[in-house]
Structures are given as C-alpha cells and as structure tokens.
Structure 1
Amino acid sequence: AVAVAAGVVFALTGGDGKPVAKPEAEPPAVVPMVPHKPPPTPAPKPPAPPAPVPPRAKPVPRPPKPAPPEPRPKPVPKPPAPKPVPKPTPPQPKPTPPPVPPPPPATVYQVNRLQYGTFGDHTKPEVRLGSSSWLWQRWGLAIDGKPYGHGVTVHARSAVTIDLNRKCSSYDAFAGVDDLTLGLGAVRFSVYGDRTLLWRSPVMHGGDPAVPVHADLTGHRAIRLVVDPHTPFGSVALADWAKSVINCR
C-alpha cells in the first residue's frame, strides 16, 4: 500500500527526478487482543443405539408350478353327408288269412245209452264190463220228488268204470238217493279220472235234494263213478246219477 501511494505522489509531482523521501513506515497497527474463549464443552454424545437386528430373511417363494398346457381342441368331425331319403313305398295290402274254422261242436254222450266195451267199436265212451258193478240204465227217475228224464241207478256200494276212447272235456250229472228207497240209507258219491279224485259229494240221505256234479276230464282216458254207503244200513239205498252225460270233442 505504501508503494502504491508513492507511485501516485510521483505522478502528481511530475516526476522531476528528485528522490522522494520514502515515507516512514508506520508501525503496524496493533490488533486488539480478544480474550480467547475456551471452546464449549461438547455435550455428551448419546449412547449409540443398539445395532439393528437384521430382519429375518423372507422365505423365497417357490416358483409356481407351470400351468398344464391347454389341451388342443380336437378337430370337429365334419357331419356326414345326409343320406338320400328313400321315397315312401305305398303300403301293400296284407293278404287276408283264411278264416279259422270253428272247433267242431262238442258231442254229448248220455251214460244211459252207452254200450259195453265188449260190443262197442272203441271210438266213443263205453262201459268197461269186467270192472263195473251192476248198472241200471234208465229213462225217468226221481230224487226228492223231482223227476229227471234219464240217468243210471246203482247200489249203495258200487263202482262203474267208463273208457272214454277219445278226448273228453267234462262229466256232468245230478247225484242223490232214488225215491224208490223210501227215504232210507245215506251214501257219498265220488268221481275219479283214472286214479285221481275229481269230485266228491257230501253225505246224501234219502229224501235229500240232488246235488250237481261237474268234473273236468281233460287229459284223462277213463272215469270211475263210485258210491259208498255212509251207515251200516246204507247198502239198502239205490243211488242215482241223474242226467248223467259225458262231453267230448
């Protein structure tokens, strides 16, 4: 700063060559001493926080299973070509079957008209001579005062065997004690097909009305008409098979 001030003075004086007395150097200014303050006592540092606990490692998620591949759509088959619709055939008339002839009418054989097998031709029912009891073939008889046009009468103990000799369907009659017995005796009537019992009556006394008889003869080759006495004095009774008939084909 002093040198600069001298330069300025020299310029103002015109620079006559005279040496300019150097200004005395001023003593340096004394800087006032500021009392030194001691540095402030640093505040005590707080205790260091505890070291943070490292967080638990998160489980690494497993990679998701790959999705199954989408099924490829099956190719849709082409619908078959429609079949040509056949032309409707006009219905043809069915032939009419010939009419079935009706079965021949049943033939009815009255037992009071049957022949014995010894004299017959074996084409219709016949009385078996060697296996039959006494048989009275009658026209007109009465049971409990009721008349019957035909029938057969037997003793209280009897058995009459009839060979059918053809296919027959039934035997029908009315059974009872004949009025000739005058109300005496008690009997029971039975009808057998071969050896099978087909029909049986209750005990019939003299003076009782006749009971209807019906026996199926399908599959049988012979029938047997049996009368048994019910009491020791029953043998005196005369038993009637009134309106006794066999129905055959």
Structure 2
Amino acid sequence: MSPSIDRHHSDWLLLQRDGLSMAGASYKRGVSVHAPSTVTIDLNRPCSAYDGLAGVDDLTLAPGAVRFSVLGDDDRSLWRSPALHAGDAPVPVHVPLAGQHSIQLVVTPVDGYWSTGILADWANAQFSC
C-alpha cells in the first residue's frame, strides 16, 4: 500500500493537479493549497525519505509570502523552507522519514492578510519506501 492523503485541514480546497508552474518552470504533477493549510499523509508502511519541491504557483497574483514545513509524528518539525513569494524558484524538499508513521505538509502565511491569496504547490512528490 502506498502513502495516502488522510485528511486536509484548511478553509480552501486541496487541488491535485497534472501540470503546474512555479517561477516559469513546468512540473508534471503536484497538489496546490492556499495558506494556511495542513495536509496529513499516512505512510502506511516504513519509508526512508520524502522528496519533492515546494513553491508558489505562477497563477498567484497576491504580493505576500508563505513558508512550507514538513512535520512528523507528534508534530515534530522535520523540514522548513524560507519565506517564498510569487516568482521565487521552488525549493527542494528532502526529509528523512525513518520511524515516522505519517507526515504533515504545512503551508503558513508569512505576511498575514496578503498571503491568503497565494496558491502554494507541493510538486513532484516521491516517497522512498
């Protein structure tokens, strides 16, 4: 059984997308959310790593910034991005997962009101299990 999205906490939708764009580059697959957002993924088996990209979608017109985080069991921080704005290059995500049963993909607004219009992308996710 592969990792599965268990639940989504947000006032906005989780959009699974084929084809998205960040900083002018296209990515084949990913999910898009608005800040604030938390997506919990149950690993369903032992996994050693999560890899992907995190960034602001090119459809974003809002001037704010968001920060991406990956939390493990017991809400322990496993990875955190710098603040990202529209037009910034996406950042690579590499998170060791040894001993984790689930992870949370978290997007947090940095600039308050302006950040709620940002479309945040988690792209090209790959689990090593």
- Normalised by the length of structure 1, the TM-score is 0.48
Gaps of 5+ in 1: 1-122
Matches within 5 A, 1:34-183: 123-129=1-7, 131-133=8-10, 134-182=13-61
Does residue 190 in structure 1 map to residue 69 in structure 2? yes
The residue that corresponds to 2:90 in the other structure is: 210
CA contact (8 A) 1:183 1:207 kept: no
2:103 alignment partner AA? I
1:243 alignment partner AA? N
Cα distance per residue 1:195-227 (max 9 Å; x no partner) = 211100000011101110000000000000000
Separation (CA, whole Å) in 1 of partners of 2:101 and 2:34: 25
3-state secondary structure, aligned to 1:181:
coil
- Normalised by the length of structure 2, the TM-score is 0.91
Separation (CA, whole Å) in 2 of partners of 1:185 and 1:245: 28
2:52 alignment partner AA? A
Bigger relative contact order (CA 8 A; separation at least 6) = 2
Percent of aligned positions with the same letter in both sequences? Answer: 54
Between structure 1 and structure 2, the one with the greater Rg is 1
Alpha-carbon spacing, 1:168–1:132, altered in 2? closer, same or farther (3 Å): farther
The 4+ residue runs of structure 1 with deviation greater than 3 A are: none
Compare the two structures and name the one with the higher strand fraction.
Answer: 2
Query: How many equivalent pairs are there?
Result: 125
CA contact (8 A) 2:62 2:115 kept: no
Gaps of 5+ in 2: none
Does residue 231 in structure 1 map to residue 111 in structure 2? yes
